[in-house]
Structure 1
């Protein structure tokens, strides 16, 4: 089992941070490993929406489909792989930090199988490093506006 959480404070209002981060079309801009996202269901994003992601992780191309299972705009978003090589659930949460800042947490949980299971002892630290880098990129993008 892999369970990794990272968080960051972004000096922008919660509705700005959540609005940008929860828009799947922005994922390739701030996620280092995500290369493309395509809608399998019709926008806008809602519980039950399905999106196909192509990522590059551990030197391999990964194709997977996320289904959105929980959506509380500006507060929480949960998506779970419906298809792909690594059963994973990703959760975003947003909370007001100080004044006009936002604390965003990113959590990935999953049970590696196949190729990923062999690497599970080193996967959590690698995921944590990648997730921190992704949140730092998100912070950079949103604070430079």
Structure 2
């Protein structure tokens, strides 16, 4: 069973949702604790693409390397970060809905190694649920909110 999970239906086409979600530059908009993101590898998004993510956690900034370990355009991507005995893997699956929207499923797995990290896993799980547990609802708001703004602009 995953340590964190969520799903959401977004009233936008699959390609648009996947493209926005997989674009790590949008992390600062989707996850409120992410304050900076920097691509470390050249080329298009693919397995092996790495980013440096900086989060603000309890008033301090901490950075980690995020790596794409699976990437199937418009279907699925998986990213992981690993540091100091803590490995976090986030799985994202995208499916079209019958009404032209997109269902996004998210699962997060937390792996610890070392005595101290194993003891603190419940605390780490709680922190990550608080920080990242609702990011799909933020993704939905961003994508569906853009459509409403565009429609309003077009009517003016």
TM-score class, shorter: 0.7 to 0.9
**Matching residue of 2:26:** 26
Gaps of 5+ in 2: 147-156
Q: How far apart are residue 127 of structure 1 and its match?
A: 2.7
Is the Cα–Cα contact under 8 Å of residues 87 and 112 in structure 1 kept in the other structure? yes
Work out which of the two has the higher radius of gyration on C-alpha atoms and give 1 or 2. 2
Q: Give the Å deviation of 1:129.
A: 3.8
Query: How do 1:10-89 residues align onto structure 2 when only pairs under 5 Å count?
Result: 10-57=10-57, 60-81=60-81, 83-85=82-84, 86-89=86-89
The higher-RCO structure (CA 8 Å, 6+ apart) is 1
Map Cα deviations across residues 70-116 of structure 1 (whole Å, 9 max, x no partner).
100111001122x4343111111111123111111122112235775
**Maintained 8 Å contact 1:14/1:101:** yes
Separation in structure 1 between the aligned mates of residue 9 and residue 127 of structure 2, nearest angstrom: 21
Aligned to 1:136: 137
* Deviates most, 53-62 or 97-106: 53-62
Give how far 1:50 is off. Answer: 1.1
The 2-side partners of 1:141 and 1:66 are apart by 22
Could you say which residue in structure 2 is the equivalent of 1:123? 124
| Residue matched to 1:108 | 108
| Alignment TM-score, normalising by the size of structure 1 | 0.85
For residue 7 of structure 1, report the CA deviation from its aligned partner: 1.0
| Structure 1 stretches lacking a partner, 5+ long | none
CA deviation after TM superposition for structure 1 residue 126, in Å: 3.9
Greater displacement, 9-18 / 91-100: 91-100
Equivalent pair of 1:5/1:107 in contact (CA under 8 Å): yes
1:92 aligns with 2:92: yes
Matched residues in 1 for 2:103 and 2:66: separation?
A: 24
